[in-house]
Amino acid sequence: RKEVEQDPGPFNVPEGATVAFNCTYSNSASQSFFWYRQDCRKEPKLLMSVYSSGNEDGRFTAQLNRASQYISLLIRDSKLSDSATYLCVVTSGATNKLIFGTGTLLAVQP
Amino acid sequence: NAGVMQNPRHLVRRRGQEARLRCSPMKGHSHVYWYRQLPEEGLKFMVYLQKENIIDESGMPKERFSAEFPKEGPSILRIQQVVRGDSAAYFCASSPQGSLDYEQYFGPGTRLTVT
C-alpha cells in the first residue's frame, strides 16, 4: 500500500466550478501535512499547510481528519491558472522528509 | 535572495557513464534534501544532508548512487554507471533547519536522460 494515496484524475472542470481533491495516508505517526502544486515539468511549490482545525487561503480550503487519516483540498471559483497537478504531502520521521502522493491532475476549461 | 539553484537543468548521458547533479541551497540554508521523480510517478525522497553529514539516506538505491554536501560548495548527487531506469527529474530542496517548522524550498530540478 502506498503511504499517500490520491485519485490521479484528471479532473476536467469549467471555469468557476468548485472542485474537491481527497487524499489518504497510511502512517498514523505523520505529523505535518501539505498540499503542493506542480506545473508541468516544473518544481513543486507549497500551496498550503493543512491543520485539523481546517484552514483557508482565498479560494482554497484544506482540511485534515487525523482519525480517518484523510486530507482534503477544496478549490472554489476555479480559474484557468489553477490547472496543474496537486500533490498531497505528509512528513515522515524526525528528519522532516516529505512523502508525496502521485498527484491529481486538474484541467480547468474555458 | 536567489532561490535554490540546480545545474545542469538538463543532462544527457549514455548508459555506463557517470552523472553529477549539483544543488546550491538558498542563502542561509544548511539542510538539503534530494528527491527523484520518475516519469508518470510522484516524487520520492532519496537523501537528507547537512553540511558534511548524511543524516538520512533511506531512500537512496543501494548501489551506484551517492550524495555529499561539503563544507564549501554545492551538494552533489552522483550516479555511477547510469542505466535507462535512472532517467528522471531530480529535485533538491533546502531549508534553514531540518525540523517540522521549516518549509522546504525546491530547486527547478535536473532532468536526466540516459540513452
Q: Provide the pLDDT for residue B14.
A: 98
Facing B98 at nearest CB: one of A42, A43, A96: A96
- Residue in chain B closest to A98 (alpha carbons) equals B45
Residues 43..62 of A with a Cβ closer than 8 Å to B: which? 43-46
Distance from C-alpha of A99 to C-alpha of A109, rounded to nearest angstrom = 30
A50-71 per-position pLDDT tens digit? 988 889 999 999 999 999 999 9
Distance from C-alpha of A89 to C-alpha of A30, rounded to nearest angstrom = 10
Give me the percent of chain A exceeding a pLDDT of 90: 78
Report, as ranges of residue numbers, the positions in chain B whose pLDDT lies below 50: none
B66 and A CB contact within 8 Å: no
Q: Which of A49, A95, A100, A104 to mutate to test the interface with B (most CBs of B within 10 A)?
A: A95
Q: How many CB pairs under 8 A join A and B?
A: 53
Question: Given a cut of 90, is residue A94 above it in pLDDT?
Answer: no
Over the Cα atoms of chain B, what is R_g?
13
Cell, residue B97: 533547519
CA distances from B45 to A28, A36, A52, A77 (A): 19, 15, 25, 34
* Beta-strand runs (E) in B1-115: 5-7, 10-13, 19-24, 31-37, 43-50, 53-56, 65-68, 75-79, 88-95, 105-106, 110-114
CA distances from B40 to A21, B1, B53 (A): 19, 32, 32
